[in-house]
Amino acid sequence: MDITKFVQLSLGRWRSQRSAHHLAFAHFEQVISTIDIVPLASDDADVIALCKSYEIAPELATDPFRMTWEGESDWEEEEISQGTTILVPIPDPNEPQKGKLLRDRGYAETIPSVGNYQINEEGVFSLLTPYDRAMAEEKIWFCGDNVRFRVSLIKTSAGSGVVTASFSSEIRSLNEKKS
């Protein structure tokens, strides 16, 4: 599994079932959402702009993509959570299983972020993203071509305490296009 294969497997529409555990209060949150992941061209203007904002040469980017989600949480029933973000992998030239992942809007804070990813020999993609006041740690792996799992931890910025842990089960939707 390399980053190209990982992104290719990720492309498409996913039905996501997510549970968040707010650890201090043993509180549960449940979200059902639809996630669309579509490839972007390497010369896409937004991809180039994102690379430049981190002073990274755009030709180092590989397999950029856009992720769009729309979900309903049982916690804030009135609110439909939705968003879109561009993600740009920048593989490490010396260690192709590692690299940086640029995104124009993060999970934990609504600002751009850059994380460090690594893909292990079991095919688990791990991503560590430091934010100003928090640290996000994600693990994503596939189970066959049509099921993927995602564990996201939000830690205090020192990395010592886990604040929120969430788990997503994602199933590829046969209905690829939104009606």
| Residue 129: HSE in the Cβ half-sphere, 13 Å Cα cutoff | 25
Q: For residue 135, which amino acid is it? A: M
Q: Report in angstroms how near the CB of residue 56 gets to a copy of itself at its nearest.
A: 27
15 binds a copy of itself (CB under 8 A): yes
The residue range among 44-52, 58-66, 106-114, 152-160 that interacts with a copy of itself, by the rule CB under 8 A, is 152-160
21 binds a copy of itself (CB under 8 A): yes
Question: 58 vs 130, which CB is nearer to a copy of itself?
Answer: 130
107 binds a copy of itself (CB under 8 A): no
Number of residues near a copy of itself (by CB under 8 A): 27
Contact with a copy of itself (CB under 8 A) among 5, 28, 46, 83: 28
Q: Report in angstroms how near the CB of residue 21 gets to a copy of itself at its nearest.
A: 4
Residue 2 corresponds to which tokens in the numbers above? 């390399």
Secondary element (H or E) of residue 53:
helix 45-53
Q: Residues near 104 by Cβ (< 8 Å), separated by ≥ 6? A: 46, 50, 85, 86, 112
Phi, psi of 3 (to 5 degrees): -65, -35
